[in-house]
Amino acid sequence: MKFLRPLIIGLGALAIGLTADAAGGAKKSKAPEGGWPFAKVPAGQLDQQSMQRGFQVYKEVCASCHGMKLLSYRNLGEPGGPFYDDAYPNANDNPLVKAIAAEYEVMDATPDEFGDPVFRPAIPADTFREPYPNEQAARAANGGALPPDLSVITKARGKGAEGDGASYVYSLMKGYPSFDEVKFREEPNGEFVNYLEFDDGEKVGELIQPIGVYYNPYFAGDTAPQWSGDPRHKPYGGFLAMPAQLPDGRVEYMDGTEATTAQMAYDVAMFLHWAGDPKQVQRKSLALPVMIYLVLLSILLWFSYKRIWRNVAH
């Protein structure tokens, strides 16, 4: 098929073009070693233990700044969710889910008979409690920056391939420079500055970290204004208003897993990946049967075609 050749070359070129990194010189995020179990073809699986730990990280660390307004507590106990249990097909009956919800106090939608608001413990049907009453409060508490809602964060980063967004969260959370890499000195004018030294062949120089923001190589931004070395070799990444969140041992896992930075980053990314697309379990379990059905149908049609056309020169 001569016809196809240029088409294929062109498509190849197109593919390269579309995969070229667009995000302002941020370091390309990496999936954990061995890849994500949920991104496997033909039938990926979420790791339920990891999601449970990830929820714990979210609840004990992230939830104080980040809301997840598209989720309800019941979602946690639905098929594919972190606390799904065969014994409770209706997530509203799941005692674990009920207990998790009950830890939060929410305002009931209906006021009491005097019109005063009623506060009560949450039930599985309630949506996750928001950390701040409004955007202004959120900004005020975070030096002017707004912590984004995390409901669909894994779909809102990366290039849309399965696991792209999870890899980003994973890389970002464990990508902060370690505590002793961020150095500290007093300038002649009496100001204190934080800085990072780079000395890896090409990148030689100093990166000043402005007050209230934190360097991360995976965050899409620009390091040029803070960089004192060769501008052609400025470091990847940028500065964001969220400090490193997951030093070793930040949470104590209930299942005894050691809470290293990488482990917590992995677990919270797994949890957020589920949260961004909670019906992915259904999607992935339906995928293979549909593909098999279509392939069998196409084989059947191919032979029908051969048979019907057998006496017709064409």
Q: The dihedral of CA 37, 43, 49, 52: what is its sign?
A: positive
Integer Cα distance of 313 and 144 in angstroms: 74
Least distance to another protein, CB of residue 300, Å: 9
Count other C-beta atoms under 10 Å from residue 216's C-beta. 25
Asked if 303 and 297 count as a contact pair (C-beta separation under 8 A), the reply is no
Choose between 91 and 215: whose C-beta lies nearer to ligand HEC.
Answer: 215
Select from 24, 79, 117, 212 the one that contacts another protein (CB under 8 A): 24
Residue 279 sits in the site that holds another protein (CB under 8 A): yes
215: left (phi over 0), alpha (psi -120 to 50) or beta: beta
Residue from 66, 98, 273, 284 in contact with another protein (CB under 8 A): 284
**Using CB under 8 A, which of the segments 52-60, 101-109, 152-160, 176-184 binds another protein?**
152-160
125 binds another protein (CB under 8 A): no
Interacting partner of 64 out of ligand HEC, another protein, none (Cβ under 5 to 8 A depending on kind): ligand HEC
Let me know if 166 is exposed, middle or buried by CB neighbors in 10 A (0-12, 13-18, 19+): buried
**Residue 278 lies near another protein (rule: CB under 8 A):** yes
Binding mask 229-268 for another protein (x = CB under 8 A): xxxx------------------------------------
Q: Minimum distance from CB of 76 to another protein (Å)?
A: 13
Residue 197's SS3 state is: strand
Determine how many CB atoms are found less than 10 A away from the CB of residue 102.
14
Task: List the single partner that 118 binds among another protein, ligand HEC, none, CB under 5 to 8 Å by kind.
Answer: none
Q: Is 294 in the site for another protein (CB under 8 A)?
A: yes
Residue the block writes with tokens 């005894």: 256
Cα–Cα dist 71/279, whole Å: 12
The distance of closest approach from Cβ of residue 22 to another protein in the complex, given in angstroms and rounded to an integer, is 5
Is residue 79 near another protein by the rule CB under 8 A? no
Q: Quick check: 30 binds another protein (CB under 8 A)?
A: no
Residue 27 or 157 with smaller CB distance to ligand HEC:
157
Q: What is the DSSP string of 67-123?
A: --TT-BGGGGGSTTSTT--TT-SSGGG-HHHHHHHHTSEEE-SS--TTS---EEE--
Name which of 88 and 104 has its Cβ closer to ligand HEC: 104
Eight-state DSSP code of residue 134: S
* Minimal distance, residue 217 CB to another protein, in Å: 17
Q: From the list ligand HEC, another protein, none, pick the one residue 268 interacts with, judged by a Cβ distance below 5 to 8 Å according to partner type.
A: ligand HEC
Chain centre distance of CA 286 = 24
How many chain residues are in contact with another protein, going by CB under 8 A? 60
We find the least distance from the C-beta atom of residue 46 to ligand HEC, in angstroms, to be: 17
Cβ distance to another protein smaller for residue 10 or 121: 10
C-beta of 91 vs 213, nearer to ligand HEC: 213
Q: Using CA atoms, how far apart are residues 236 and 219, in angstroms rounded to an integer?
A: 8
A 10 A CB-CB count for 57 gives 27
Q: Is 109 in the site for another protein (CB under 8 A)?
A: no
